[in-house]
Amino acid sequence: MTVIYDLEHITTYRYRKPVTFGEHRAIFLPSASYGEQILSYSLTTNIPAKIRWTMDTLSNNVATITFSEPAQELSVTGWLRAEHFGIKAIAEFPLDARAIEIPVQYTPDEWLDLSRYMRPHAEDPDGCLAAWAKSFVAGDQDDTLNVLQYMMDSIRNNLTYQARETEGTQSPGETLRLKSGTCRDYAWLMIEALRRLGLACRFVSGYLYDAALDGGEVGMIGSGATHTWLQVYLPGAGWRNYDPTNQITAGFDLIPVAIARHPGQVIPLSGFWFGDAQDYLGMEVNVSIRKLGTLPEFEEGKSG
């Protein structure tokens, strides 16, 4: 089944008086993949701007926005309509024998391609992250899929989800110490822990579609908003999704937009402005995802 959806992502900044804006960088448009096909899209601003589309080193679609006028309010709206094919369960992709147990054995070519995703990025000064990671392979617990599931479940069951307005991502050590975090903190903790077990992992930024939203309800954590999770490379299965916030590994809920080695590379909208610090009044983000129907239904509606 293929789901057709509309997505709108509006970011609004407000200031006490008009300020001047520097270059901004927007990442909201999914790259071409087996799970997504873009039908149409647009990026608009409330003040005159020049928009230039490029692809970064990781093949993410990036819009560079240059503004020509000062303003008291800045609004950037990304919209797209897409076909979403969903993610099949890992059971449909049997692992190669060399991936069944940890440590996973990557080939020389895989090592060359995956090294940037295997090298730990976050510091671990007191060793708490390494110790936490190793606790999942203690004794005879070396089955790769079990270790991944246990770690994902541990994050969801033992940490408290805490929404946070401030930008940035906590260090994995801080998330363990606080025993709380956002979806990006959860994903970053699991990525850095798995890297210390020799697994190639990458950070994924995107959106979470929840069917409950179609009925005016909210079911999963982070639904109808930007969302982050991780992908792990497993020989035989390829890049597989793990969302520790909602314990999701398959289905239609995860809509990937961009991948990165670390969270700072895929901030949905980033940039700078010139003015007095006290002029900044705050930021508001509104994301809406609306299912138009499955592909056969959608085609019938268009022709009718």
Answer for the pair 239, 96: CB distance below 8 angstroms, yes or no: no
- State yes or no: pLDDT of 217 exceeds 60: no
Right CATH for 90-251 from 3.10.620.30, 2.60.40.10, 3.40.50.720, 2.40.50.100: 3.10.620.30
CA distance 288 to 279: 29
Q: What is the pLDDT of residue 134?
A: 96
Q: What is the pLDDT of residue 214?
A: 58
Q: What is the pLDDT of residue 159?
A: 97
Domain ranges of the chain: 3-84+266-303, 90-251
Predicted confidence band of residue 208 (pLDDT cuts 50, 70, 90): confident
Q: Which of 63, 71, 67 is nearest to 50 (CA)?
A: 67
Q: What is the pLDDT of residue 223?
A: 53
Q: What is the pLDDT of residue 215?
A: 57
Decide: residue 125, CB within 10 A, 0-12 exposed, 13-18 middle, 19+ buried: exposed
Q: What is the pLDDT of residue 51?
A: 98
Predicted confidence band of residue 304 (pLDDT cuts 50, 70, 90): very low
Q: Which of 11, 80, 58 is nearest to 258 (CA)?
A: 58
pTM over 0.85, yes/no: yes
The percentage of the chain sitting over the pLDDT mark of 90, rounded to a whole number, equals 75
Q: What is the pLDDT of residue 139?
A: 83
Q: Which of 110, 133, 129, 112 is nearest to 233 (CA)?
A: 110
Average pLDDT, the chain: 90
Q: What is the pLDDT of residue 251?
A: 79
Please state the rounded mean pLDDT for residues 60-71.
97
Right CATH for 3-84+266-303 from 3.20.20.105, 3.40.50.720, 2.60.40.2250, 2.60.200.20: 2.60.40.2250
First and final C-alpha spacing in the chain: 21
Predicted confidence band of residue 119 (pLDDT cuts 50, 70, 90): very high
- State yes or no: pLDDT of 241 exceeds 80: yes
Please state the rounded mean pLDDT for residues 67-92.
90
Q: What is the pLDDT of residue 229?
A: 96
- State yes or no: pLDDT of 234 exceeds 60: yes
Per the listing, tokens 């003040």 go with 47
Q: At what angle do helices 144-158 and 183-195 cross, to 10 degrees?
A: 150
Q: What is the pLDDT of residue 303?
A: 42
Q: Which of 242, 212, 254 is nearest to 87 (CA)?
A: 254
Q: Which of 111, 160, 98, 104 is nearest to 137 (CA)?
A: 104
- CB neighbour list of residue 157: distance below 8 Å, 6 or more residues apart: none
Q: Which two tokens stand for residue 64?
A: 């560079």
Q: Which of 12, 62, 70, 2 is nearest to 257 (CA)?
A: 62
Q: What is the pLDDT of residues 10-41, one digit of tens each?
A: 999 999 999 999 999 999 999 877 778 899 99
Q: What is the pLDDT of residue 224?
A: 59
